[in-house]
Amino acid sequence: MDAELQAFRSQWRDEVVARHRAPAAAGDAPAAARVRGSSPPPRHASPAPAPAQPDSLRALLHALTEAHAESVARHAAALAAETDGQEDGAISGVTARLQALRLHTSVHDIYPADEQAPVPVARLPDEVWLAILLRVVAPAPAPLLVPAVREFQTFVPEPGEPWRAYTGADYEALERLGRVCWRLRWLSAHPQVWKAVAEATYEAPLARMPCSWRDAFVHEPRVRLNGTYIATCEYTQQGLSVENVWVRVLHKVAFFRYLRFFPNGRCLSWLTTEAPSDAVRQLVPGLRTKGCAAGRWHMLVDDGAPPARRGATVVIDDLRDPHLRGYTFQMTLHLRPAPGRWHRLDMLAYSSLNLQTAEVVPIPHKHARPFVFSRVVGYGI
C-alpha cells in the first residue's frame, strides 16, 4: 500500500508540472507565428477540444482517507489482541491463586476460654471502679425551669440535650453491670453509689435511713421517670342508625391519657386517641398539640404506714393547655404501694380553674382507669 501511494504521488506531481508548462507554451506560439507572417486561422473554424484532465485532488483525498482508515484498523486490531492477552493473563493468575487457596471443609474443635485466667480489668483498684460506677449512674443536667411569665408554661429543651437529662439516675444500667461478675456485683451494691442514686431521685435533705441506701431506694415511694404512665379509657355512647331508626346503636369510644414526669418538677399530660406505640415518641418537652398540657408536680409520702404498704399522693397543678388559654387544670393521684415497681397511679380528683373568675369546677372522671407505667427505651434509660 505504501508503494502504491508513493507511485500515485509521483504521477500527480508530474501532472501538476505538465499543467503549469502548457499555458506558457500556448502564449509563445502566436507571437512566433506573427513574426514569421503566417496567416491566422479561419474565423469560422471551431476550437479543438482540450484533453480531459482527471480530478487529481479528489482522488488524492480518497486515497489518503482509505490509507488512514486502514492504518487505524490495523492499530486497533493490534491493541485489542494485546489487551485480550493481558486480561487472559490476569484471569489466569486469579484462577491459579484461587486453586492454590486451601478452603477448610470441616469445623475445627473450639475450646472454651479459661475462666480462671485473669483479665486486664481485674487489676483495676476498687476506687477506680467506684469512680466508673458513679459516672454510669450520674444523670445529665436537667433543663432549667422556664419563667412563669412565659405563655402556656411550656418548657423547651436546650439544643443538643440528650434524653438522659429527663430520666434521672441510670440505676438500671448499674444493675445490668452488676450481673457481669461477683466483683462488680459487690461494687454495684456499694453505699456510695446508691447514695448518689438516692440524691438524684429524692429531694434534699435526705434523712438517715435505718437500712441501706439501695433498700431505701427500693422501698421509698418515687415516681418513675424512664417511661410514661398510660391510662386506657373506654365507654359506650348511644347513637342512631341511618338505615333503620328503630335499631339501637351503641358506639364504643376509646381514648388514652398519658402522664410523663421529669426530674425538674415538670410534667406533661396528654389526652388523645393515638395508640401508645405512636404517642410515647411524641411526648417530649415542647409538644404543642390539642389535648396536651404542661404543668408542675410534687409528691407527698403517706406517713404512719409500714414500708411495705406506704404509698404517696402525687399532685399535678398549673396544667395549661395552649388551646384553652383561660383555664388551668389540677390533678390529684395516688401512687399505689408496690416497692421496687411503683407502676400504678389512681386518679383521685380532677378540676379546672377559670383564670378570670377564679372558679374551680370539678371534672367528672368516671371513665378514668388507673395509670399503668410503661418503660420507653427511647427515653434513654
pLDDT for the residue 380: 67
The fraction of the chain above a pLDDT of 90, given in percent, is 24
AA identity, residue 291: G
pLDDT for the residue 261: 93
261 burial via Cβ count (<10 Å: 0-12, 13-18, 19+): buried
pLDDT for the residue 155: 46
373: number of Cβ within 10 Å: 19
By mean pLDDT, which of 56-65, 87-96, 233-242, 338-347 is the weakest? 87-96
Spatial separation of the C-alpha atoms in residues 378 and 278, rounded to whole Å: 12
pLDDT tens column, 243-290: 777 777 888 888 899 999 988 889 999 999 999 988 998 888 888 888
Residue of 231, 262, 258, 265 whose CA lies nearest to 346: 231
Residue 2 has pLDDT above 80, yes or no: no
By mean pLDDT, which of 31-45, 92-106, 174-188, 310-324 is the weakest? 31-45
Residue 163 has pLDDT above 50, yes or no: no
Helix (H, G, I), strand (E, B) or coil at 246: coil
Query: How is residue 216 written as a grid cell?
Result: 431505701
Q: Which of 25-34, 110-119, 305-314 has the highest mean pLDDT?
A: 305-314
List the domain boundaries for the chain: 114-142+165-220, 227-375
Our CA angle for 353, 355, 358, nearest 5°, is 65
260: number of Cβ within 10 Å: 22
pLDDT tens column, 334-376: 999 888 889 999 999 999 999 999 899 998 887 778 999 998 8
